[in-house]
Structure 1
Amino acid sequence: MLSTIVPSHEPPVRQQPSLATTAAPYVVEDCLGLVQVLSDGTVLRFPPPPFPAGAACDDGRVEWRDAVYDADNNLGVRMYRPRRRVAADNKGAAGRKKTKLPVLVYFPGGGFCFGSYSYPKNHALCLRMAAELPAVVCSFDHRLSPEHRLPAAFEDAEAALLWLPGQVLRNPWLAGSADPRRVFVSGTSSGACVAHQMAVRFGTSGLHPLKIAGYILLMPYFLSEEPTLSELSTPATALLSRERSDRYVRLAMPAGWNKDHPLVNPFGPCSPSLASADVGRVLVVAAERDLVRDKNLEYAERMKALGKDVRLTVFPGQEHAFCAIKPLSAAADEVIRLIKRFII
């Protein structure tokens, strides 16, 4: 038998809101002031600081334009090409200078949580590389954590590389400048971690009809649960301190995973063997005063032990991602010269 609900003539009792519902959301995670996660789960993003006033960034040697490579996720690429299309020091079989330039794919860093081709310092670095290598540079964005945890960034990088052949071969803005047989995939910090995984995914011949001629890893953000000496000795004031690195891990790793995830620890306990990976030539740049220095050195050593053609350069006195943070510095000059020697 159904019970009857008798309506009450008493006025409704108004519940007093609890402190938990009235307190303003507060910051629980902060990534260098660029990304903040609030206590209610809201993610706030802020623009990076502008480039220093008066800094010589765009001197007119390079032209660039933006495009979308993934409309569904609103992901873009910034493409750069030198205005003078002559590849210095690259001569054809008949002794004539080639007019087509190598293609440098670049993934910016940011702990998988921030970073974009539009950041002023990333833009400045790409302008320099396009002008001074010289090369056609394609700087790709990817989805960011914590809104899009890994493997989203790696999936986007794969989509970016699969998008590239059609552009190099058929996009009039690129086709006349870009050499489809000399493609190099690079990145800084987390972007270098992405570049490594693209080396495993595509090797040298997996992007037909393009030929990937090498990979360039600038201070790759390789991690492990077992702390290294360089990690333990990194001061709390460093740009990439243990606290900040652990924050990126919390925000970016798939649920239930730690720093031994195969995407960030190539030689971790759960990582597949790289013995059969056709990665071709690899340039690794490490910094002496960097939390991930020892992981970078270990990567180079273990890849060499597998018979891979890996070249390692350690920059004394430098910190993590120095060439991207100070793209007009003397140290950045040397990185660009190093890359130039590698791609020629």
Structure 2
Amino acid sequence: MASTTTTPTAAAASAAGDDDEVIRDFGPMLRVYKSGRLERPLVAPPVAPGHDAATGVDSKDVHLGDYSVRLYLPPSARAVTNRLPVVVYIHGGGFVAESAASPNYHRFLNRLAAAVPAVCVSVDYRLAPEHPLPAAYDDCLAALRWVFSPDAADTWIAAHGDLARVFVAGDSAGGNICHHLAMHHHDAPRLKGAVFIHPWFWGSEAVGEETRDAEGRARGAGLWMFACPDTSGMDDPRMNPMAPGAPGLERLACDRVMVCAAEGDFLRWRAHAYAAAVAAARGGGVEVLETEGEGHVFYLFDPDGDKAKEMMDRMVAFVNADAAA
């Protein structure tokens, strides 16, 4: 019998070509192919909740419809009679990547829950582009309201959490979302504090030593524009809280503010400008930590380094400041 060769149809060849063609490339965060396929190269396989032998912290997932939360309970919760502060944590990832189950975030939340100690609530919000912004903002605000709801919140929060000491914290895009939470949470009780770690803010006008190059500034907001199709641009108040016409920063519904910056982070100057603007609006009272010689969210990738330990210690002190007073 004579041998035969199968030749792909033109349609199949075209589809294969489309799948290989990248039409939007946002570095390791997200690649978008012509076929519609999405690739998130930076994201490691998720890890399951459970008991963490290193810290003694227990964790579990609670599914809440469009989003979920991963709760963390430190071992000291069962040994103390006083209720523990609650830290609602919002992960980063440019609004398009990572999750509460990402290994780096899971490890960090285990350590944070044990070190404070606190009941931690890590929000697993919907990601763009499958769910364009404001989906992430909506999910995180719903999660915060869930924490404060006596009828809806989980038994760990009900039994061990002190709802008079609720903090929000987040890094990068999560820091941006924390600003949104603090601006829109006006239910009693107020947030006790907010920790903005290397927050992703930007704007059409440069601050500090940011690039003045128009093309460079556009690149700094390119992923934001993609994740939020209805945005008005770089000076959308959600991306630039200091833009003309943005809601006044005195509206931040939290008692205390901490802003973390990193010397090697291109967002460094924006973090300092935000801290200064908040301090001016509130009459001071903003704690700033700049980590020398490190880059964006370094503590997730080098969690055992001295600088990561220093940042953890400062966060622990910030959360426990009232209790120690």
Please give the TM-score of this superposition, normalised by the length of structure 2.
Answer: 0.82
Match for residue 314 of structure 1?
Answer: 290
2:90 — aligned with what? 107
Identify the residue that residue 17 of structure 2 maps to in structure 1: 23
Structure 1 residue identity aligned to 2:25 = D
Taking a change above 3 Å as real, the CA distance of residues 158 and 144 of structure 1, as seen in their structure-2 partners, is: same
Residue deviations 1:247-267, cap 9 Å, x none? 422321334532211101001
1:157, distance to aligned residue in structure 2 (A): 1.1
Distance 1:196 1:143 in 2: 18
User: Residue 335 of structure 1 aligns with which residue?
Assistant: 311
Unaligned 5+ residue runs, structure 2?
A: 1-9, 47-51, 321-325
1:182 pairs with 2:165 = yes
Aligned residue number for residue 268 of structure 2:
293
Where do 1:210-221 residues align within 5 Å?
210-221=189-200
1:154 maps to a residue whose letter is Y
Note the alpha carbon deviations across 1:174-227, whole angstroms, 9 max, x for none.
32221111110110111011111111111xxx343x542111111111111223
Q: Which amino acid aligns with 2:22?
A: V
Q: CA deviation at 1:164?
A: 1.1
Structure 1: any 5+ residue segments left out of the alignment?
1-15, 52-56, 88-96, 234-240
1:263 maps to 2:238:
yes
Moved beyond 6 Å, runs of 4+: 16-22, 241-244
Output the CA distance in 2 between the equivalents of 1:18 and 1:62. 51
2:126 matches 1:143 = yes
Could you tell me how far apart the structure 1 residues matched to 2:44 and 2:288 are? 32
1:38 aligned partner: 33
Structure number with bigger Rg: 1
- Counterpart CA distance in 2 for 1:120 and 1:267 is 33
Counterpart of 1:281? 256
Report which of the two has the higher share of helix: 2
Aligned residues: 302
Could you say what the CA RMSD is over the residues aligned between the two structures, in angstroms?
A: 3.0
Task: Give, as a single letter, the amino acid of the residue that structure 2 aligns with 1:269.
Answer: P
Is contact 2:256-2:286 (8 Å) kept?
yes
Q: Name the structure 2 match of 1:172.
A: 155
CA distance in 2, matches of 1:179, 1:248: 37
In 1, Cα distance between equivalents of 2:266 and 2:28:
21
Amino acid at match of 2:34: S
Partner residue of 2:71?
A: 79
Q: Secondary structure at the match of 2:168?
A: strand
**Residues 1:66 and 2:54 are matched in the alignment:** no
CA–CA distance in structure 1, aligned partners of residues 143 and 153 of structure 2: 16
Question: Is residue 124 of structure 2 the alignment partner of residue 129 of structure 1?
Answer: no
How far 1:141 moved relative to its partner?
A: 1.4
Equivalent in the alignment of 2:5:
none
Tell me how far 1:270 sits from its aligned partner. Answer: 4.2
Cα distance in 1 for residues equivalent to 2:29 and 2:40: 6
Letter in 2 for 1:340: V
Structure 1 residues 86, 294: closer, same or farther in 2, change over 3 A?
Answer: farther
1:155 and 2:149 correspond? no
1:42-53 matched pairs, under 5 angstroms = 42-45=37-40, 48-49=43-44
Q: CA deviation at 1:50?
A: 6.1
CA displacement at 1:168 relative to structure 2: 8.8
CA distance in 2, matches of 1:194, 1:170: 21
